[in-house]
């Protein structure tokens, strides 16, 4: 089991001024920030990040949204990071997210759902290295 996961605070949340509150909830839950950057993805970069969803009907919408404004990308560390972070953020659709989770508090729809969290240790490593080189992880 890995102790790292990867997250993004998405453009809906950064534009509404939720970045600070979301990062606070993440660190309050015991996650340590190992790498972080504030970045505005191009459509090409967002498309490459979400290439795994290329055949899904929502892919175009997802790419347009993720390149619509700045995001915060980060690598987080904690024991059981991937599973614990997915519990902290709640279900992909905020309407189904548990009370107190980040998506329940800050997300508005399944597409504009405030945060991303890796779904496996393997994807956490792939996604983290999409944004960060070894020199940027501390």
Among positions 19, 111, 125, 137, the unique one binding ligand CMP when judged by CB under 6 A: 111
Question: Which entry of 116, 117, 118, 127 is annotated as an active-site residue?
Answer: 116
**Binding of residue 29 to ligand CMP (CB under 6 A):** no
The residue with tokens 């950057």 is 37
Q: For 92, left (φ over 0), alpha (ψ -120 to 50), or beta?
A: alpha
Q: Provide the mask over 78-97, with x wherever binding to ligand CMP is found by CB under 6 A and - wherever it is not.
A: --------------x-----
The contacts of residue 63 (CB under 8 Å, 6+ apart) are 43, 46, 47, 50
Which residues between 41 and 60 bind ligand CMP (CB under 6 A)? Answer: 53, 58
* CB count in 10 Å sphere of residue 20: 9
Nearer to ligand CMP, 49 or 132 (CB): 49
Q: In whole angstroms, how close is the CB of 97 to ligand CMP at the nearest point? A: 12
Active site residue 116: yes
In angstroms, rounded to a whole number, what is the distance separating the alpha carbons of residues 60 and 51?
Answer: 11
Task: Give dist(CA 14, CA 65) in Å, integer.
Answer: 12
Q: At closest approach, how far in Å is the CB of 137 from ligand CMP?
A: 21
Site residues (vs ligand CMP, CB under 6 A): 53, 58, 61-62, 92, 110-111, 113, 116
């Amino acid at each position: 089991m890995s102790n790292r996961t990867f997250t993004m605070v998405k453009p809906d949340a950064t534009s509404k001024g939720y970045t600070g509150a979301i990062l606070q909830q993440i660190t309050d839950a015991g996650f340590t920030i190992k790498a972080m950057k504030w970045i505005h993805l191009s459509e090409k970069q967002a498309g490459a990040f979400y290439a795994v969803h290329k055949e899904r009907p929502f892919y175009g919408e997802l790419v347009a949204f993720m390149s619509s404004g700045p995001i915060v990308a980060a690598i987080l560390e904690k024991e059981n990071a991937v599973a614990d972070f997915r519990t902290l953020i709640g279900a992909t659709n905020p309407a189904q997210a548990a009370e107190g989770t980040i998506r329940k508090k800050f997300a508005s729809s399944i597409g504009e759902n405030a945060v991303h969290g890796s779904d496996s240790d393997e994807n956490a490593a792939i996604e983290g290295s999409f944004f960060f080189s070894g020199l940027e992880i501390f």
